[in-house]
Amino acid sequence: MNFTVAQIAKMIDHSILRPEFTVEDVRSGCAVAAKYDVASVCVRPCDVPTAVSLLRDTNVRVGTVIGFPHGDSATQIKVTETELAVDQGATEIDMVLNIGWLRSGDINAVENEILSVVKAAGEAHVKVILETAYLTDEQKLAACWAAERAGAAFVKTSTGFAPTGATVDDLALMRSAVSAAVQVKASGGIRTLDTMLAMAAVGVTRFGTSATAEILEDLARRQVNVPGGRA
């Protein structure tokens, strides 16, 4: 599978989510996103206005997280978070589903909550974070099916705050569970170009990572010796 640097960049959501990040860290992260023209930044809810302002004259979308990282906020809180984020200019919404409800087998409650967030998001893309580290394969499948029925644009593996993150096996399972109308996002432990390429090979189209510069510079170096500028 061959990609240019620009193509890989447009598969990246540059992650700026660590709790200790300062305002200057957020500004620096947005500068990286703008430099490489990635798909989006994914920032903390409090940072949405800053990111929107910094990226207004770029092609980089601004996304944020909802119910992050545990997924256990009340549904109305998730809805309100979503409405505020969209009002402030976010166009991508990464929500953590209610992991406890899913593990309890209450799929209707999980689906209804996702639907509420999708409605609140309007035209913004909703990505449903499963937090696969805590789920059986059957629960992962049920979550993917619920997310698609509720109108989500993506299903996503992880927050990056659980014991483990994305795996190729989980991503292949998620890709098999949803139709072509739903994309798959890998997040959690995406640090290298080779990891991205292996995951793209099973159908992943978006990646959450903070290693954007390292990944894209690695690809640029490899392309120097590849005829046609692809690797």
Active site residues: 94, 156, 185
Q: Return the DSSP state at 198.
A: H
Separation CA 47–CA 26 (nearest Å)? 7
Tell me which residue has tokens 């690695």: 218
Please give the Cα distance from 197 to 193 (Å, whole number). 6
* Count of C-beta atoms within a 10 Å radius of residue 156: 32
Contacts of residue 44, Cβ cutoff 8 Å, sequence gap at least 6: 16, 17, 19, 21, 64, 65, 68
Q: How far apart are CA 142 and CA 107, in angstroms?
A: 7
> Strands, DSSP E only, in 77-180?
92-96, 125-129, 154-156
Return all residues near 59 (Cβ < 8 A) that are at least 6 apart: 37
Query: Which residues sit opposite 95 in a β-bridge?
Result: 66, 128
